[in-house]
């Protein structure tokens, strides 16, 4: 096995967790793996790029002067990795185990029907996290907007997070989370990379759906693990994260389900969802309503300025 593995990490004010991520990569078993790590920094203002591995010729740092989004940065990183046979899109708030890369590539090599590979994610306490998603559909998003998928997830399937199995077993899935997404470079090229119209969120859902439409399959392997802290770059800016999530969701429906459903979901998002989110927060976490109001103000402003 002689593999050229290119890892793309998009950074935006990730703090010290980026250093932990990079160190875990270089501690890995890299036998017969030629490694190149590209960090694409989206105009961070913190000291997250003060890394222990700066100066290692296997590490490339690309500094953007403005933040053009996650998908755009992923495509930039992939463009620098022309010689890589395999591409791994990895979040800065993750840490890999010593055997993660070896087992992942070995699995891909033995299973030609698998095009995109994801792994089990555990948090700092060892708890398994949901790391696979359903393909978002208008009806599933409708359940989300009404809040029914939060209260009765077994009856009303959530639009994205795959909550219908415990993630303790391996299986083919609609989509693996973009926090760890491994594929051969040819797969990425067949799909022409990520759609940069999604600034952040739903770019991986779009990638997964487009891959399925051309017969490519995504697989969740529960025998391979990573540590995933979660919300590494959105902590403290949850209102901005919610704004982009809602905006990307509407864009996703417009793109894949047409004008009619796009308008329906847009109207429900703008009129109904602010009410259901506020009511849900009053029960679960009243302090979160401040961020909810901020997010919808941003959404209304965006719509007013962009039509």
Do 104 and 53 share a structural domain? yes
Structure token pair of residue 250? 């509407």
Structure token pair of residue 196? 């940069």
Residue 92 has pLDDT above 80, yes or no: yes
Instruction: Identify the band that residue 234 occupies on the pLDDT scale cut at 50, 70 and 90.
Output: low
Rounded mean pLDDT of 232-256?
Answer: 88
Return d(Cα 179, Cα 115) in angstroms, integer. 16
Do 243 and 217 share a structural domain? no
Whether this prediction's pTM lies above 0.75 is answered by yes
Residue 235 has pLDDT above 80, yes or no: no
Instruction: Identify the band that residue 116 occupies on the pLDDT scale cut at 50, 70 and 90.
Output: very high
Do 114 and 82 share a structural domain? yes
| 91: phi then psi, degrees, rounded to nearest 5 | -80, 150
Return d(Cα 210, Cα 174) in angstroms, integer. 11
The whole-number pLDDT of residue 232 equals: 55
Write out pLDDT tens, residues 117-170: 999 999 999 999 999 999 999 999 999 999 999 889 889 999 999 988 899 999
Do 300 and 212 share a structural domain? no
The answer to whether residues 138 and 113 touch, using CB atoms and an 8 Å cutoff, is no
The answer to whether residues 149 and 158 touch, using CB atoms and an 8 Å cutoff, is yes
Q: What CATH number does residue 79 fall under?
A: 3.90.550.10
Rounded mean pLDDT of 53-72?
Answer: 96
Do 201 and 277 share a structural domain? no
Q: For residue 38, with 0-12 CB atoms within 10 Å meaning exposed, 13-18 middle and 19 or more buried, which class applies?
A: buried
Rounded mean pLDDT of 247-269?
Answer: 97
Write out pLDDT tens, residues 185-230: 999 999 999 999 999 999 999 999 999 999 999 999 999 999 999 7
The whole-number pLDDT of residue 267 equals: 97
CA angle 22/38/59 to nearest 5° reads 60
Residue 5 has pLDDT above 90, yes or no: yes
Domain boundary among 183, 209, 228: 228
Do 120 and 173 share a structural domain? yes
Rounded mean pLDDT of 290-296?
Answer: 96
Residues 6+ apart with CB under 8 A from 234: 240, 241
Residue 280 falls inside a structural domain: yes
How many structural domains does the chain have?
2
Return d(Cα 214, Cα 216) in angstroms, integer. 6
Return d(Cα 174, Cα 157) in angstroms, integer. 14
The answer to whether residues 133 and 110 touch, using CB atoms and an 8 Å cutoff, is no
Rounded mean pLDDT of 14-43?
Answer: 97
With pLDDT > 90 as the criterion, what percentage of the chain qualifies?
93
Q: Which of 89, 95, 93, 86 has the alpha carbon at shortest distance from 77?
A: 89
Instruction: Identify the band that residue 10 occupies on the pLDDT scale cut at 50, 70 and 90.
Output: very high
Residue 239 has pLDDT above 90, yes or no: yes
Q: Is 172 helix (H, G, I), strand (E, B) or coil?
A: strand
The whole-number pLDDT of residue 143 equals: 96
Residue 237 has pLDDT above 60, yes or no: yes
Do 64 and 194 share a structural domain? yes
Instruction: Identify the band that residue 307 occupies on the pLDDT scale cut at 50, 70 and 90.
Output: confident
Do 301 and 193 share a structural domain? no
- Which residues are 129's β-sheet partners? 121
Average pLDDT of the residues of the chain: 95
Residue 260 has pLDDT above 70, yes or no: yes
Q: Is 106 helix (H, G, I), strand (E, B) or coil?
A: helix
Helix pair 238-271, 203-213: axis angle to 10 deg: 60
The answer to whether residues 9 and 42 touch, using CB atoms and an 8 Å cutoff, is no
Residue 257 has pLDDT above 90, yes or no: yes
Q: Show the domain range for 11.
A: 3-131+167-228
Do 200 and 91 share a structural domain? yes
Return d(Cα 161, Cα 242) in angstroms, integer. 16
Residue 33 falls inside a structural domain: yes
Residue 283 falls inside a structural domain: yes
Domain boundary among 206, 228, 250: 228
Do 101 and 16 share a structural domain? yes
């Amino acid at each position: 096995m002689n593999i050229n593995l290119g890892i793309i990490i998009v950074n935006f004010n990730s703090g010290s967790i980026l250093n932990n991520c990079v160190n875990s990569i270089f501690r890995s078993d890299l036998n017969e793996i030629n490694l190149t790590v590209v960090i694409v920094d989206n105009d961070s203002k913190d000291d997250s790029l003060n890394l222990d591995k700066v100066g290692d010729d296997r590490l490339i740092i690309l500094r953007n002067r403005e933040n053009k989004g996650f998908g755009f940065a992923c495509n930039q990183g992939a463009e620098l990795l022309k010689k890589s046979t395999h591409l791994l899109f990895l979040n800065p708030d993750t840490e890999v185990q010593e055997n993660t890369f070896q087992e992942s590539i070995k699995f891909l090599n033995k299973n030609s029907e698998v095009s995109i590979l994801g792994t089990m994610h555990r948090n700092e306490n060892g708890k398994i996290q949901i790391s696979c998603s359903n393909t978002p559909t208008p009806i599933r998003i409708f359940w989300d907007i009404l809040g029914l998928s939060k209260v009765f997830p077994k009856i009303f399937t959530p639009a994205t997070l795959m909550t219908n199995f415990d993630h303790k077993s391996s299986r083919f899935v609609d989509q693996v989370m973009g926090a760890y997404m491994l594929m051969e470079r040819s797969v990425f090229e067949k799909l022409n990379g990520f759609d940069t119209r999604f600034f952040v969120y739903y770019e991986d859902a779009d990638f997964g759906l487009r891959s399925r439409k051309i017969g490519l399959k995504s697989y969740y392997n529960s025998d391979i693990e990573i540590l995933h802290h979660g919300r590494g770059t959105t902590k403290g800016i949850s209102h901005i994260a919610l704004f982009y999530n809602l905006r990307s969701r509407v864009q996703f429906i417009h793109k894949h389900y047409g004008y009619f459903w796009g308008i329906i979901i847009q109207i429900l998002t703008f009129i109904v969802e602010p009410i259901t989110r506020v009511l849900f927060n009053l029960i679960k976490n009243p302090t979160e309503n401040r961020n909810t109001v901020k997010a919808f103000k941003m959404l209304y402003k965006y719509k007013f300025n962009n039509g």
